[in-house]
Amino acid sequence: MIRRSALLAAASLLGLSLAAQAQDFQPALLFDMGGKFDKSFNEAAYNGAEKFKAETGISYLEFEVTNESQRDQALERMARRASIVVVVGFAFGTSLEAMSERYPDAKFTIIDASVDKPNVQSILFKEHEGSYLVGMAAALKSQTGKIGFVGGMDIPLIHNFEWGYEQGAKAANPDIQFTANYVGTTPAAWSDATRAKELAFSHYDGGADVVYAAAGAAGLGVLEASKDKDKFSIGVDSNQNHLYPGNVLTSMLKRVDVAVYEAFKSAQDGSWKPGLLNLGLKEDGVDYALDEYNKDVLTPDIVTKLDEAKAKIISGEIQVQDYYSKQE
């Protein structure tokens, strides 16, 4: 018995070293809570990594965090083995700060948080710019003059969505009435679709007819509510238009897929640089979604106005304030 386990251990060691030789470049991707196929934020990251895999044939290591205590452990494991570790989600911030010091030779890219270390690349999105556009769409579409917002976890990042959305809505219709609420204050909020749905019902019952969901997988509850009540909802992160055609007005795209793909790609060809990247409308980091599923509800006159505003934001004619500077 002892001998057999020793043999097994030797064999697995051999297997590991063979694998390491066969593949010199080894990317890794860590997903945040909510799960890989949340049809939203994590799924966008997954799509980016899959695109890289399809193009280069290089497979990647992955890990789905299902509770808080796994963050350090997962980071540590990947840092030892991978050439580039991409972590998605602001919640990795504190873990990464410690781990990037412990593994100074490893390269990390974090999405949605800023970690100021010599071996970390931080990618932030100007969610407020994309949210501004969907806010305009909501205000232009609304018949009742009331719109709503359902956030996931109550954190500054999600307030940034809310603030951009409110600014866009007010720009399109100064008289618009706007209410916002949040699913919760813990990471469990990202998957509590039942509560998100009830929150959306409370918006619709209160007279709102467009609700924007910035709540990860929980946001699916909001989209479902718009179907049940036959009102409008706005998806987030990934393109969610296809989920309930006719009820999902549009989606605020956050191109996490592009960010993950670029991080893998640049690490592979050696152009990867640490530091802070801020991706907005100009850099194609955020956008609104228009496809065959929502072209009937997002009418051409709305699209024209959105594209005008988009051009103005890119040229700097319209300045969308972010939540962080609103605070100051």
Q: Within 10 Å of residue 44's Cβ, how many Cβ atoms? A: 24
The region of 49-57, 88-96, 202-210, 259-267 touching other proteins under the rule CB under 8 A is 202-210
CB nearer to other proteins: give 205 or 328: 205
DSSP for 164-177 reads HHHHHHHHH-TT-E
Asked if 172 and 203 count as a contact pair (C-beta separation under 8 A), the reply is no
Q: What distances in angstroms separate CA 160 from CA 131, 231, 327, one per listed residue?
A: 9, 25, 11
In angstroms, give the least distance from the CB of 35 to other proteins: 4
Binding pattern to other proteins, positions 104-123, x when CB under 8 A?
--------------------
For helices 70-81 and 93-102, give the axis angle rounded to 10 degrees: 40
The region of 127-135, 221-229, 248-256, 283-291 touching other proteins under the rule CB under 8 A is 221-229
In angstroms, give the least distance from the CB of 57 to other proteins: 22
Asked if 234 and 213 count as a contact pair (C-beta separation under 8 A), the reply is yes
Structure tokens belonging to residue 43: 């799924």
Asked if 234 and 211 count as a contact pair (C-beta separation under 8 A), the reply is yes
Judged by CB under 8 A, the residue of 182, 212, 264, 288 near other proteins is 182
Asked if 88 and 38 count as a contact pair (C-beta separation under 8 A), the reply is no
- 70 binds other proteins per the rule CB under 8 A: no
CB nearer to other proteins: give 141 or 197: 197
In angstroms, give the least distance from the CB of 208 to other proteins: 11
Site of interaction with other proteins (CB under 8 A) = 35-38, 64, 66, 154, 179-182, 184-185, 188, 191-195, 197-199, 201-202, 205-206, 217, 220-221, 224, 228
